[in-house]
Amino acid sequence: MQSVSWKCPSNIALIKYWGKKGNQIPANPSISFTLNNCHTITNIRYEPKENDGTLLVSFAYDGKPMPSFEPKLETFFNNVEALFPFLPGYTLEINTTNTFPHSSGIASSASGMAALALCLCSIEKNIGGNLSEAEFFKKASNAARLGSGSACRSIYGNMALWGQTDFYPESDDEYAIKIENIDSVFKTYCDTILLVDEGEKEVSSSAGHALLNGHPFAHIRFEEANKNMGLLKTALETGDLKAFTKITEQEALMLHALMMTSNPAFILLKPNTLAIIQKVWEYRKNTALNVAFTLDAGANVHLLYPAEEKIKAHHFIEFELAKFCKNKSFIHDGVGMGPEQLV
């Protein structure tokens, strides 16, 4: 059997994707930091089989079968069949592992689906595909999107944008692009993930996206996201950390406000999430440093700060924030270079 392997990082959105149309087309454009330490490593062993039109795929997580992943995987393969017509002619053995705990509440679908998409593109290349490097990554991003929308952004290092917007003429609804023009401060930005709640999400992001259909504030939300896209672009290009903080926090709170005003409503924030937010605001007022928060679709807090404030931020985390985390646990991460092919 031959084999391909990719290491692919997770990402954290600053402008949030929340709400979709048709086949995984975002209702508004989104921007994210690509992380480094929180990543998935996926290996696929493959060999030719008789092409009888059926897929033969086995899946293991950390070397063990994981039946709970299988429905999502099946949907993914159904969605990407047309992109990879060679698939029914091969047997695939997928083995995957994450550097962060599977139950930590950190979204593993972004890094997981992106790693899988990259592996499929590499198999295609090995059996005679001849895409240019740029087309290879574009295709991987498009395929990753069909597994989990946010996954398409994990294909590129530093910062990525997904969704058509006039602010970036190269942008597209079907794949992400790398944002090239950013101030150097953002290339080393730090993200400490404060693990407030390690449980499984109570409402899946697919269910959350669906609740934007007919949501009374959906229209306003999409307008605000587009407006924030323009403001964030300027902040990223000029290195304006005050503006960056304001937009990032507003986006995080708006995401959760949409959840609270959905029908049915739901709340993913926990009391300790709010306690951390209060502490961050107090800290910023007292120190004038640039520690900011953002939130995923869950209770964990991503604490964002420039590398030059690292020592002070770590002190703040250890002495003032860790007590709000489950078992005082957090993960130091930061902006990374993007996926890496291992085999």
Interaction site with ligand PMV (CB under 6 A): 13, 16-18, 30, 107, 109, 148-150, 205, 255, 296-297
Residue closer to ligand PMV, measured from CB, 30 or 43: 30
Residue closer to ligand PMV, measured from CB, 138 or 302: 302
Residue tagged 């086949």 (tokens): 23
Rounded to an integer, what distance in angstroms lies between the CA atom of residue 182 and that of residue 338? 16
Q: Measure Cα distances from 117 to 73, 172, 173 in Å.
A: 11, 18, 17
In whole angstroms, the minimum distance from the beta carbon of 13 to ligand PMV comes to: 3
Residue closer to ligand PMV, measured from CB, 4 or 31: 31
In whole angstroms, the minimum distance from the beta carbon of 230 to ligand PMV comes to: 17
Reported in sequence order, the residue ranges of the chain that DSSP labels E, i.e. its strands, are: 2-15, 20-21, 25-26, 30-48, 56-61, 64-65, 90-98, 159-162, 176-178, 190-194, 292-295, 301-305, 330-334, 340-341
Extract the tokens encoding 7: 């290491």
CA dihedral defined by 122, 29, 208, 250, rounded to 10 degrees?
130
Extract the tokens encoding 71: 């429905």
In whole angstroms, the minimum distance from the beta carbon of 314 to ligand PMV comes to: 25
Residue closer to ligand PMV, measured from CB, 92 or 160: 160
Q: How many CB atoms lie within 10 A of CB 313?
A: 23
In whole angstroms, the minimum distance from the beta carbon of 271 to ligand PMV comes to: 20
Residue closer to ligand PMV, measured from CB, 4 or 297: 297
In whole angstroms, the minimum distance from the beta carbon of 147 to ligand PMV comes to: 9
In whole angstroms, the minimum distance from the beta carbon of 20 to ligand PMV comes to: 8
Residue closer to ligand PMV, measured from CB, 5 or 294: 294
- 163 touches 16 (CB < 8 A): no
Residue closer to ligand PMV, measured from CB, 149 or 338: 149
In whole angstroms, the minimum distance from the beta carbon of 167 to ligand PMV comes to: 17
Q: What is the DSSP letter of 297?
A: S
Rounded to an integer, what distance in angstroms lies between the CA atom of residue 39 and that of residue 27? 27
